[in-house]
Amino acid sequence: MRTLGISGLSVTMPHKEAVADAVDRLDPAARSLHSVNTVSWDGDQLVGSSTDGAGFVASLADADVSVDDAKIAIIGAGGAARSVIDALARAGASDITVLNRTADKTEAAAALTPVASPGIISDVTRADIVVNATSVGMGDDGSLPCDPDLFRAGQVVADLIYHPLETRWMAAASRQGCQTVDGLGMLVHQAALQQKIWLGDDAVIDTAAMRAAAMRSLS
C-alpha cells in the first residue's frame, strides 16, 4: 500500500491476523479480535479495521431484526463466530451463549465480552436469535449444526453460509415457524462498511445492487 499508493485494501483468510500485526493501529473491533479485513489510511498511518461482525448486525437490521437486549445462541467459536460475538455485544445483546465442541475455543470466544458464556446445545431453545457460525451445511454438506426440533416458532435463525443460499438447516427452521436470515447479507454489508471506510460516511452505497450482483455470481 505504501509503495504503490493503494488507497484501500480488503483482506481475507488466512492473512487477517498477519495484517493486524502489520498496520500502524487497529480499530476497536480489530483490536479485540486481533483480525483485520480492511486497511485504510488516516494521514500517513495505516489503520486496520474489522467489518465482518458489524456486517452481520447490519444484515439482521436489514431483515428488521433488532439485537438490542436479545438472547443469542452462537454455534461455533472460530474467527467468524468471534467477530459476530464481538459485534453483537457492541450492538446491545444482553446474553450470548457460545456452543462449540472444543472447550478451550468456546471459553476463549466467550471471553471476548462479559455478556457471553459457554453453553450447552439445549440453550438454543431459549434464544431469541440462533446463529450458525460454522461451515456445517456449506456446499453439498447436508449436515445440520443442531437438531431443528430445538427451534420454536418466532425465533430468528441466521446462517453465515451463503452457498447454498438456503441451507437444509434454514429450511428446517422455516418449517418450525422461525424467521431465517441467510449469510449473503453479512457478505454484502461487511463490504458496504468497507466502502464507507475507504470513501467516507457520506458515500452512497447501494446494498441492494451489491446483493443482486452477488446472487448473479452465485447462480
Alpha-carbon gap, residue 68 to 88, rounded angstroms: 9
Say whether 16 is catalytic. yes
Alpha-carbon gap, residue 152 to 97, rounded angstroms: 17
Can you tell me whether residue 15 is helix, strand or coil? coil
Alpha-carbon gap, residue 89 to 191, rounded angstroms: 21
Alpha-carbon gap, residue 156 to 149, rounded angstroms: 14
Give the residue from 154, 142, 212 showing the smallest Cα distance to 184.
212
Grid cell, residue 90, equals 457492541
Helix (H), strand (E) at residue 118: strand 116-118
Among the listed residues 16, 71, 105, 196, the single catalytic one is 16
Catalytic residues: 16
